[in-house]
Amino acid sequence: MVILAIFLLASTDKVVNTAATTNTVSFSGEGKVTAKPDIAVISASIVTQAVDSKSAQDNNSTKSNAVSAFLKKQGIDDKDIKTSGYNITPQYKYPLYGGQPTITGYQVTQSYEIKVQDLTKISAILDGLVSAGANQVNNLGLQIENPDALKSRARQLAIDDAKKKATELEEQVGISLGKIINFVEGSSGYPMPMYESAMLGKGGGGSSAPVIPTGENEIVINVVITYQIK
């Protein structure tokens, strides 16, 4: 009888605890914050070809020095100019009717990631990069450098939205909500507008600099708050 009583008490406690955790309701909330981007990140490359590897690298180095000098002239700090890739690729000629391909030359590609703090200089930098020797401008990202404060504000808006829905349900259905037992957050981050190289790349002299509208970026935070029902 003692053993049976202990078993029944344990079973009853398990049922009560299960009921406490299963009688729940969840509310979703969304918070959006928009802000103008304050930095631009440009990806550009210098591509050179020659019959031998050394000549290709020498040609690339000459253009690289010209690009670096141009960027410094525009007030870009050394810390904001980063080599993101350097590749030496053999160029092959393939026989028409099979056989072993032969190396006809080498291609050197040096890629850069350039951070621009002054957005008013974007157009001039894009135009000047090509003139200085960067024959590929791959993309441009308009970003918010320190988004943490904006994410915090969006999170608070999302929480307020979820709590407002909880209060409305209490009034509409007549239930009483207890403590919060779970919280889930998801973020869509913020989109970075990307511009294709066909839009950015400029040809020889005489062409005007591209016009780059900066617009606004949006940070979105979604939350789900789960309450116990009393």
The model's confidence at residue 166, banded by pLDDT at 50, 70 and 90, is: very high
Residue 115: CB partners within 8 Å, gap ≥ 6? Answer: 39, 40, 41, 76, 80, 81
Indicate left, alpha or beta for 30 from its phi (over 0: left) and psi (-120 to 50: alpha).
beta
Helix or strand or coil: residue 212? Answer: coil
Q: Which residue has the higher pLDDT, 15 or 88?
A: 88
Q: In the predicted model, is pLDDT for residue 186 greater than 70?
A: yes
Amino acid at 181: I
Q: In the predicted model, is pLDDT for residue 10 greater than 60?
A: no
The model's confidence at residue 211, banded by pLDDT at 50, 70 and 90, is: confident
- Joined together, the tokens standing for residue 142 give 């308009």
Backbone angles phi, psi at 185, to 5 degrees: -125, 140
Pick 39-145+192-213's CATH classification: 1.25.40.10, 3.40.50.12640, 3.30.70.2970, 1.10.10.10: 3.30.70.2970
Backbone angles phi, psi at 100, to 5 degrees: -80, 135
Cα of first residue to Cα of last residue in the chain, in angstroms, is: 34
The model's confidence at residue 224, banded by pLDDT at 50, 70 and 90, is: very high
Say which DSSP state 144 is in.
Answer: -
Q: Which residue has the higher pLDDT, 65 or 193?
A: 65
The model's confidence at residue 213, banded by pLDDT at 50, 70 and 90, is: confident
Determine contact, residues 223/157, Cβ cutoff 8 Å: no
Determine contact, residues 217/150, Cβ cutoff 8 Å: no
Percent of the chain with pLDDT over 70: 81
The pLDDT tens digits for 116-163 are: 999 999 999 999 999 999 999 988 999 898 899 999 999 999 999 999
Amino acid at 229: I
